[in-house]
Amino acid sequence: MAKLKDVLAKKFPKLQEELKGLVKANAGKVISEVTVAQAYGGMRGVKAQICDTSTVSPDTGLIVRGIPLAEITDRCPEEMFWLLLTGELPDAESLKDLQADLAARSEVPAYVWDMLRAMPKDTHPMVMQSMGVVAMQGLSKFRKRYDEGMPKQEYWEACLEDSLDLLAKIPVLTAGAWRIRYEDGKLIPRDPSKDWSANFAHMMGVPDPSGHLADLFRLYLNLHADHESGNVSANLCHVCGSALSDPYYSVAAGLNGLAGPLHGLANQECLKFHETIYQRFNGVPTAEQLSKLAWDTLNSGRVIPGFGHAVLRCTDPRYTACHEFGIKVCPDEPLFKLADLMLQVIPGVLKEHGKAKNTNPNVDALSGVLMYAFGVKEPPFYTAIFGVSRAIGMCAQMIINRAIGTPITRPKSVTTEWIKQQVGA
């Protein structure tokens, strides 16, 4: 049995040495260049940031510490956190220890519930989640120790402490937000016999006689944890943390980015899109009807949620994992059938439209459909569930960044006048 902190305490000094040598020996070597199109185009493809927890290959999708996602979809989110941080999966005893540690840290302060209850009834769950996280900033051990003069070499330890606290509390906070926003407001206490994701399902209190919702959460919370560090949520957390803002501030920054419709909110948008189609056609439409509706959507200047990706050029393996789950447990659900029809029709429409570089579905195309099938029928909540998971990757990346002393992020911006002079325009 190993303790996560002890494993990291052994690994980090070696990593620090290795990176110091690597950078010293190769400091001036060029790894990327930036074109004018990239500078104006969201820096797509510019290699200027390091992330060792995971990488996204355009052709195969997410690879976690060298392991393709498809090989670890049966793992639980706590194992994913360990893997992201250490590069190895924990043994059964070490996993149990981590789970017990998380359980012991899971209490959310009472004033946070008071705050959430005082919010207007129509507050978006992402606002409740983000504010709940940042409201707990007073608990930050990183902040306290920084104020006491903590030496740099100990930053990662304080960051790990805060991350464990935050990861323990975020499912409790988010399930509580569900109870306050959509149910009777009464909180359901944790069940000590259940793990992190099963407890999340339990604390939401959605009836789950088949156990499929708990299984779905386990899968979903595992799949969404990390997607390298250039995506909006991870990158925001990275930049915020680089100023030594503690994990509460930094994860909240990432969650606020996750709330954008082109990123994490796409799962909400996607389910709404499915619902609209289903209601308009009073059921699953024909392929022709769906194709026409897709064209109308594109022609009115809107995107088709759940399709396309900034990096991927293949079907998102996270989508594939959700699809396999759906085929197994709810193949006859009407919205699942509609999602399957979307899979047949939309890529062709997007191809003909000729703009999207990737016409395949991403994970958001299906995750909401599955949540809906198992009783979570409030699309605005889907991104908050994404947030519970993404906090894992954000925290893992932040702990490593504090360990290797990643400095404050500060790329150089240039003016359009400078670009014009540079290219002789």
Q: What amino acid positions are annotated as catalytic residues?
A: 263, 309, 364
Give the one residue of 155, 217, 307, 336 binding ligand CMX; rule: CB under 6 A: 307
Under the binding rule (CB under 6 A), the answer on residue 303 touching ligand CMX is: yes
Encode 272-291: b = buried (16+ Cβ within 10 Å), e = exposed: ebbbebbeeeeebbeeeebb
Binding positions for ligand CMX, 335-364, rule CB under 6 A: 355-358, 362, 364
Q: To the nearest 10°, the Cα dihedral for 341, 345, 350, 353? A: -140
Select 308 or 380, whichever has its Cβ closest to ligand CMX.
308
Cβ-based nearer residue to ligand CMX, 56 or 170: 56
Among 47-55, 60-68, 91-99, 262-270, the segment contacting ligand CMX (CB under 6 A): 262-270
Least Å distance between CB 146 and ligand CMX? 32
Q: For the CB of residue 174, give the shortest distance to ligand CMX in the complex, in Å.
A: 18
User: Which of 252, 245, 13 is closest to 142 using CA atoms?
Assistant: 245
Would you count residue 385 as binding ligand CMX (CB under 6 A)? no
Rule CB under 6 A: is residue 271 a binding residue for ligand CMX?
no
Under the criterion CB under 6 A, does residue 90 sit at the interface with ligand CMX? no
Q: How far is the CB of 363 from ligand CMX (least distance, A)?
A: 6
Element counts in the chain: helices (H) and strands (E): 19, 3
- 228 binding ligand CMX? (CB under 6 A): no
Closer of 145 and 309 to ligand CMX (Cβ): 309
- What is the pattern of x (binds ligand CMX, CB under 6 A) and - over residues 21-60? -----------------------x----------------
CB of residue 264 to ligand CMX, shortest distance in Å: 5
Distances (CA, A) of 341 to 266, 268, 337: 18, 19, 6
How is residue 14 written in tokens?
Answer: 């070696």
**264 binds ligand CMX per the rule CB under 6 A:** yes
- d(C-alpha 337, C-alpha 339), whole Å: 5
Say how many residues touch ligand CMX, by CB under 6 A: 21
- What is the C-alpha separation between 336 and 325, in angstroms, rounded? 11
Identify whether the C-beta of residue 70 lies closer than 8 Å to the C-beta of residue 322.
Answer: no
Q: For residue 163, which of 116, 112, 225, 73 has the smallest C-alpha distance?
A: 225
User: CA–CA separation, 101 vs 92, rounded Å?
Assistant: 14
Q: Which among 391, 321, 389 has a CA at the least distance from the CA of 74? A: 321
- Residues in the site for ligand CMX, rule: CB under 6 A? 44, 231, 262-264, 266, 298, 303-310, 355-358, 362, 364
